[in-house]
Amino acid sequence: MKFTNNSRIVKFFNAIVLPQSQVLGILIVSSIAAAVAYGPYMKFVTREPEVSVIPVTPQKITEWGGVPTRVTIGLYINSFPVLDFVNNDFIFDGILWFEFDPALISLNTVSKFSLERGDILTLSEPYTQIIDNKFFARYNMRARFKADLAYQLFPFDDHRLDIILVNRTIQPSEMIFRSYSSFFVIAPSIRLTGWEIYDTAVRTGMIKSDLDKFELQKAVSYPRAVFSISLRRSGTRNLLLILLPLFLIYFITLFSFAFDPKTHAGTIFGLASAGVTSLLGYRFVIEGMSPKVGYFVLSDRLFTLFLLAAMVEFIFAVILVRIGHLTPWIKIMRGAAYIMINIVFLIAWVYFFSRN
């Protein structure tokens, strides 16, 4: 099919890439992208796998042939000296306490607790007292731990931190932990930069590890208590620092489609090549702000998408500069490429959020 510069389709595709049209396109694409991201940003969704805790049921107690000693456990967190989600490093200062019947179990047994996925850095001598004929013991402690975090939607990610206390020196048939949500308290004065506490929860029970998958009698089990803190991002600092430069580079590079190679060959080539080099350079900035994981997070996918778009624009710019003038078919191809790049971005943007 033969087209002329006066054809309606040629005029349309030529007009769609003009600077004033691209400014309108930026507003439309940005609005759609913001609308898609608004839901995940406002809604709290954590993707961390739930820590396994096997509940101690009446049937299980019947199997054991005796009632285990119930030890009440609670945790009060004073502060988080380290709250580093990028490097998965957390330190908290707090008070861990126990309450139990001293006639059924000794403090020496109860005090042999440990922290899963972490270490107790400092632990005070127990402060003890009798409350309503129950033995109450509390410890001042500082502990460092790591969490099994999911970063797929970084920097839109919310998280749940699990502080896991166990006692590996005793069987659940002899002792189990008991706790309630009110026994897990975070000091009201705590201020977490960039994060806000969404919810807290406590689960108690036991954990069982099969030593031989063919002989279930060969197993190890012990009491376990999980104190969970749900945290959501507050503010837009990370979002703007990571996403805003990527979007600016993406939209500015698209302006390479707006010029005539006969008079602005240098501008076309400069914008297209600057897009590729800017993205490659900004990759080092993103890497320093992103979590160290072995899979692609949202910012990685977005960077890869924009880099591919920049490469397409660069190749098209080289061809355009090489030809040196705009034919009707080149105008159609240029406008179609501009539209397709934006459509592919929006489809991918929706997909990135919907698949998680």
HSE, CB side, 13 Å, CA atoms: give it for residue 264: 13
- Give pTM, 2 decimals: 0.84
Contact between residue 299 and residue 286 where contact means Cβ atoms under 8 Å apart? yes
pLDDT band at 234 (very low <50, low <70, confident <90, very high): confident
DSSP bridge partners of 98? 73, 137
Domains recognised in the chain with CATH numbers = 8-42+237-354 (no CATH), 58-233 (2.70.170.10)
Place of tokens 């007009």: 15
pLDDT for 214: 66
Q: Is the pLDDT of residue 1 over 90?
A: no
236: pLDDT confidence band, cut at 50, 70 and 90? confident
SS3 of 321, please?
helix
Cβ atoms of residues 230 and 198 within 8 Å: yes
- Burial bucket for residue 5 (CB in 10 Å: 0-12, 13-18, 19+): exposed
Is pLDDT of 216 > 70?
A: no
Cα–Cα dist 199/228, whole Å: 8
Length in residues, the chain = 356
Element (H, E) at 123: strand 118-123
47: helix, strand or coil: coil
